[in-house]
């Protein structure tokens, strides 16, 4: 059931206040991808158990599969059941039109990323699209996130090693971050400091000195995408520096699939897959989320 514009504005105002609080109290929201109801239950169970505020997020693939309004309804129904503090993020929205739909659906966080659809989008195109969404988000007060570059990788399990010489070509710079923030008015800057979408054979390495320079250059929230398969000490240091949102997806999907494969192989005569998911998969994904919550220093920070 759709929520009123008044309630959407209240939710967005609270989300804005809480992001500001996270930044200055040095903890971060975990932004965890939602693939289905089981994933959502795992995230909310972890949030409830840890008394941590969280974001659940969907990108265009999940939007196409589930629908914006269904996501909104699922989250509203289950957050009451779990008594969890949770907000919704539209992640890597590839167009102005899709981002506006997320705002209208009542999502508290909107990530506009036209470079996902067009890797060769110019700086001018990215800035113009981002600024249009910043202006449109005033309808509800939703927080807008973006970045001036294409963010590489994917949410799959990668077999190749990480070519850091190549990745460093797309690292954020303090000057570039400042220019982008000033010309768009975004609430959250998605920094690239060695973070990369997906799981790889080797752990990721984050340039924390660069992060400090970016933090000093801009006066808005900072997020880290591609948080999976990153040693926890990087997150703990990043949060202390001033990161207030970290995205996690691949670690959860890996736990989901490998656990499901194992329990299916162990229960060949059980055809209620949902029963097996409830028994084993949800706890496995929940454990991943809880470990990230600890790294993000957000345990015990929920309002209720």
Quote the pLDDT of residue 14: 98
How far is the C-alpha of 74 from the C-alpha of 70, rounded, in Å?
6
Return the HEC string of 60-101. Answer: HHHHHHHCHHHHHHHHHHHHHHHCCCEEEEEEEECCHHHHHH
Structure-block tokens of residue 33: 């991808």
Q: What is the DSSP letter of 160?
A: S
Tell me the backbone φ, ψ of residue 32, rounded to 5 degrees.
-110, 130
In the 8-state DSSP scheme, what is residue 162?
A: P
Annotated catalytic, 35?
A: no
Could you say which of 35, 69, 91, 294 is catalytic? 91
User: Could you give the percent of the chain with pLDDT greater than 90?
Assistant: 84
pLDDT digits (tens, 9 = 90+) for 178-202: 999 999 999 999 999 988 877 777 7
pLDDT at residue 260 is higher than 70: yes
pLDDT of 155 strictly over 70: no
The overall average pLDDT reported for the chain is 94
DSSP state for residue 198 in the 8-state scheme = E
pTM: 0.94
pLDDT for residue 66? 97
Q: Which domains, from first to last, does the chain contain?
A: 5-295 (3.20.20.70)
Separation of alpha carbons 85 and 245, rounded Å: 15
If one compares 118 and 255, the residue with the highest pLDDT of the two is 255
Q: Give the tokens for residue 81.
A: 């059941």
CA atoms lying within 13 Å on the CB side of residue 101: 16
Confidence class for position 91, pLDDT limits 50, 70, 90: very high
pLDDT, tens digit, 9 for 90 and up, residues 24-35: 999 999 999 999
pLDDT, greater one: 154 or 292: 292
* pLDDT tens-place string over residues 203-233: 788 999 999 999 999 999 999 998 888 999 9
- At residue 227, the pLDDT reads 87
**Is 152's pLDDT higher than 70?**
no
pLDDT of 76 > 90? The answer is yes
Dump pLDDT digits (tens) for 1-23: 679 999 999 999 999 999 999 99
Q: Where are the beta strands (DSSP E) in the chain?
A: 29-33, 54-58, 86-93, 109-112, 143-146, 153-157, 188-191, 197-199, 221-224, 245-248
d(CA 197, CA 212): 22
Q: Give mean pLDDT, residues 288-293.
A: 98
């Amino acid at each position: 059931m759709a929520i009123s514009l008044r309630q959407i504005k209240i939710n967005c105002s609270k989300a804005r206040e809480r992001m500001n609080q996270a930044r200055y109290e040095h903890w971060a929201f975990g932004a965890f991808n939602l693939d289905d109801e089981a994933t959502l239950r795992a995230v909310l169970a972890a949030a409830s158990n840890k008394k941590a505020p969280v974001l659940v997020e969907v990108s265009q693939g999940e939007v196409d599969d589930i629908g914006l309004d269904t996501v909104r309804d699922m989250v509203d129904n289950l957050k009451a059941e779990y008594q969890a503090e949770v907000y919704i993020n539209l992640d890597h929205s590839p167009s102005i039109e899709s981002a506006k739909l997320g705002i209208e659906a009542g999502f508290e966080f909107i990530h506009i990323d036209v470079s996902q659809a067009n890797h060769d989008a110019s700086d001018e195109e990215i800035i113009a699209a981002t600024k249009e969404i910043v202006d449109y988000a005033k309808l509800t007060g939703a927080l807008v996130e973006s970045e001036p570059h294409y963010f590489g990788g994917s949410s799959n399990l990668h077999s190749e090693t990480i070519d850091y010489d190549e990745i460093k070509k797309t690292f954020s710079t303090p000057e570039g971050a400042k220019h982008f923030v000033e010309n768009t008015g975004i609430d959250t800057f998605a920094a690239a400091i060695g973070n990369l979408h997906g799981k790889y054979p080797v752990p990721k390495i984050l340039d924390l000195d660069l992060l400090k320079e970016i933090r000093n250059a801009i006066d808005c929230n900072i997020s880290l995408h591609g948080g999976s398969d990153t040693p926890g000490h990087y997150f703990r240091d990043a949060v202390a520096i001033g990161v207030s949102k970290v995205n996690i997806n691949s670690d959860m999907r890996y736990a989901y699939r490998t656990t499901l494969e194992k329990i299916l192989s162990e229960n060949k005569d059980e055809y209620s897959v949902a029963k097996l998911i409830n028994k084993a998969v949800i706890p496995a994904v929940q454990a991943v989320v809880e470990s990230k919550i600890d790294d993000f220093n957000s345990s015990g920070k929920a309002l209720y």
